[in-house]
Amino acid sequence: MIDVAPLTLKSLTETDSDLAVFAAEDAGLAGLKALSAKEKSDLRAALEREGFKGKLRETARVDVPLLGRTRRVWAAGVGKRKGAGSESFRRAAGALLGAARGKSAALAVLCAEQTQAVAEGLLLASYKYEEYKKGDADKLQSARLVASDAASAAAAAKACAKAALAAEAVALARDLVNRGPSDKTPLSLAALAETFKGSGVTVTVIDKKKAEELGMGSFLGVARGSAQPPAMVHMIYKPKGGSKKRVAIVGKGITFDSGGLSLKPAASMIDMKCDMAGAAAVIGVFKVIARLAPKAEVHGIFAATYNMPGADAYKPGDVLKAMNGKTIEVWNTDAEGRLALADALCLAVQQEPQAIVDMATLTGAVVVALGSKVAGIMGNDRRLLAQVSAAAARADEPVCELPLVEDYKEGIKGDIAEILNISKVKGEAGSIVAGLFLQEFVDGRPWVHLDIAGTAFWSGEGPYGPKGATGQPVRTLLEWLGSL
């Protein structure tokens, strides 16, 4: 990713950097305190000649005499001024990066508002996944947010630092999700987590033998069909000086989901390397958590395994026993994520947290209901739901609450075990039913579930990122943890 940092106005006049500006459709250019009235007029006229209107993500390039020399100036639109919040500026910055990355070596961005969103847009849009194939080399290496005075320079520095932290966590989550499924075994994810040890973070890897001793029968049932051993990983961050607050974030880590014996159609397997996006989000957060320095003790747990139709694969009709003693009748081995999460949530409960937030690419039903831009959110505690929803709003990672309708619990009452892993009522409320299943394993503790099946992976180019993994909901988690 590129380097993004603040730049003083005095330093700007001493460089020959290309400039970047933002404009609204109905209000014109903004943040141009550094320019004289004539320079502003000349820039507006040049952009008008190019037909630039300031529509959201529209870009244009002009050459104009500014600040003592002729400079290349990039303009990006934020749409209507009234509705131009942080997401508009983040998307405009992403478009700006896309337009300039092959043509400018450095940008000086004249931006007097939404500096963190602008920095995030530039950073996130500059991400490339090049583990297997190198893309075209980018000319653009740095962007500087121009500050008019010392106070705004300090604010810009803080915004850039926060954006860089979020982008680093998102980039790691994207890398992990984008990686080929055979190259991200459960044990390799565990080994990566172990590199976070120190700086207030401890890591415990629960291998298959230990999981058996702990009674993680639900998780281990999913793992039975794979030749690769599973891993349940427990990371703990403790702030210096301790804290009375304790929370847990829990992620689904199915490193490839074939559907097991309830085999998916071939076309449905193409993107199933993304089925560990919940675990990737937890890992991304813990890479930066010591620098985020939340005031709460944070437990990060993820359950990592393949779901494969191997010789000893679990079968429809099997009964599994979770860590809390609940028995689960398996009706569909492709509803495996909730089974892995069941024991991960039980482990989280044992830590006695005041709040649990889990995230998982859990159901296709949530994509039908909410599409690829909005995650489903469910929970048993209004205060925690409000906190996480507010964090998602600040991060511009939209969520929509789905109700945990008690009547739907009738559908997951087992015939020979306590609960079923899918509902007897076919084709109805799949995401809610999955949430009701997970609720059985939180022991009444405040809990929120994020179903990110639609939002974790872009099938096409995103507003500030390439096709593939999005890194959601990393920024939501960072916002929430930072607010505790």
Question: What distances in angstroms separate CA 75 from CA 10, 107, 265, one per listed residue?
Answer: 22, 11, 46
Is 134 annotated in the active site?
A: no
Is 321 annotated in the active site?
A: no
Contacts of 137 (CB under 8 A, 6+ apart): none
Given the residues 61, 338, 445, 475, select the one marked as catalytic.
338
Give the Cα separation of 3 and 52 in Å (integer): 28
Question: What distances in angstroms separate CA 206 from CA 209, 303, 323, one per listed residue?
Answer: 8, 9, 13
Structure tokens at 218: 């639900």
Phi, psi of 274, rounded to the nearest 5 degrees: -85, 5
Distance of CA 398 to the CA centre of its chain: 11
Given the residues 264, 295, 315, 394, select the one marked as catalytic.
264
> What one-letter code names the amino acid at 267?
A
Q: Which residues pair with 248 in a beta bridge?
A: 299, 356
Task: Give the burial string for 339-362 (b: 16+ CB within 10 Å, else e).
Answer: bbbbbbbbbbbebebbbbbbbbbb
Measured at the CA of 48, the angle between CA 45 and CA 53, to 5 degrees, comes to 135
Instruction: Calculate helix-pair angle for 86-100, 115-125, nearest 10 degrees.
Output: 40
Catalytically active residues are 264, 338
